[in-house]
Amino acid sequence: MTHHVARMLETYPKDLGGVDQEKLAACIEACFECAQTCTACADACLSEDMVAELTKCIRTNRDCADICATTGNVLSRHTGYDANITRAVLEACRTVCKACADECEQHAGMHEHCRICAEACRRCEQACADLLSSFG
């Protein structure tokens, strides 16, 4: 996917400013991957026999999926760019990814889908942090 994300950034007809395009592309990809993984994890949790014990995990997965998808969408738009909005969205995404990874790690020993989800959340958390640090 990065290949397509990077190619789309390269074709943008205006100057993208001082943003690190490699970190931007990696963050967009991580956001959409995390959104999909969290959606799938929530669905898998709903199929578990112990679903009642996974209520917080399901809620956190769904919140993370929504915020990651929104962040990926915001990062994909450049016309009328507002750095303050971008920073706020990235901070929210980093925060929810940390919370979701923390929650999923509690179930990772018993549920492989939670282990995989925690990994995706950590990658997205790091990608958001990397992009934020490139803003200076």
Pick the closest to residue 88 from 102, 101, 71 (CA basis).
Answer: 71
Structural domains in the chain plus CATH codes: 21-133 (1.20.1270.360)
Summarize pLDDT for 81-105 with one digit per residue, the tens: 788 999 999 999 999 999 999 999 9
Q: Higher confidence at residue 12 or residue 132?
A: 132
Q: Alpha carbon 17 to chain centroid distance?
A: 23
Whole-angstrom Cα distance, residue 119 to residue 97? Answer: 10
Summarize pLDDT for 30-86 with one digit per residue, the tens: 999 999 999 999 999 999 999 999 999 999 999 999 999 999 999 998 777 788 999
Q: Higher confidence at residue 16 or residue 94?
A: 94
Residue 51: which residues within 8 A CB-CB, separation 6 or more?
Answer: 45, 58
Whole-angstrom Cα distance, residue 136 to residue 11? Answer: 25
Q: pTM value?
A: 0.93
Residue 6: which residues within 8 A CB-CB, separation 6 or more?
Answer: 21, 22, 25
